[in-house]
């Protein structure tokens, strides 16, 4: 496994290392994810197995005794090695649900665009396609 941590600063500073030629993405490895996840740092647990652009990746260690590591990976490819997941319930049981009234603004907006509950599968698919395209191009923000 090629470790990213030792050259993290070098790469982040804009100097491309020969060790990582062509590698811009890393996978976050949280070695204790299975055994001590409950008592471990919530950020580390949330980052476990995430694929991140090196330039947008937090630098481990995130805290005292953090033993997380980064592993270089191939660039994710939309629809092949990276996929999106949007719950269809977002549309069927929220936006277009007839008895939910707290989202009338969204319901009205989607209606003006010509969508209704019958389009939920299409919207789910389109949201997933657009999300993964943005993700693999580095257009994402970490929520941790």
Contact residue for Zn ion among 44, 52, 57, 70 (CB under 5 A): 44
CA proximity to 54, closest of 24, 77, 28: 24
Decide if residue 66 touches Zn ion (CB under 5 A): yes
Sign of CA dihedral 44, 45, 49, 51: negative
| Closest distance of CB 41 from Zn ion, Å | 5
Q: Cα separation of 109 and 125, whole Å?
A: 19
Nearer to Zn ion, 66 or 86 (CB): 66
For Zn ion (CB under 5 A), the number of binding residues is: 3
Choose one: 21-29, 40-48, 76-84, 91-99; the region binding Zn ion (CB under 5 A).
Answer: 40-48
Nearer to Zn ion, 7 or 44 (CB): 44
Nearer to Zn ion, 68 or 123 (CB): 68
| Closest distance of CB 25 from Zn ion, Å | 19
Q: What's the CA dihedral at 58, 25, 127, 108 to 10 degrees?
A: 30
How many residues make up the chain in this entry? 144
Decide if residue 68 touches Zn ion (CB under 5 A): yes
Distances (CA, A) of 92 to 4, 46, 86: 42, 28, 12
Task: Give the footprint of Zn ion on this chain (CB under 5 A).
Answer: 44, 66, 68
């Amino acid at each position: 496994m090629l470790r990213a941590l030792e050259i993290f600063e070098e790469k982040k500073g804009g100097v491309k290392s020969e060790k990582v030629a062509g590698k811009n993405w890393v996978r976050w490895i949280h070695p204790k994810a299975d055994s001590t996840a409950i008592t471990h740092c919530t950020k580390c647990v949330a980052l476990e197995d995430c694929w991140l652009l090196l330039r947008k990746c937090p630098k481990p260690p995130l805290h005292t005794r953090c033993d997380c590591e980064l592993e270089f990976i191939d660039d994710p490819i939309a629809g092949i090695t990276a996929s999106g997941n949007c719950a269809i319930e977002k549309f069927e049981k929220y936006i277009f649900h007839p008895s939910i009234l707290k989202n009338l603004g969204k319901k009205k907006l989607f209606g003006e665009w010509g969508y209704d509950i019958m389009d939920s599968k299409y919207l789910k698919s389109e949201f997933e396609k657009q999300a993964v395209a943005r993700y693999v191009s580095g257009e994402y923000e970490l929520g941790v």
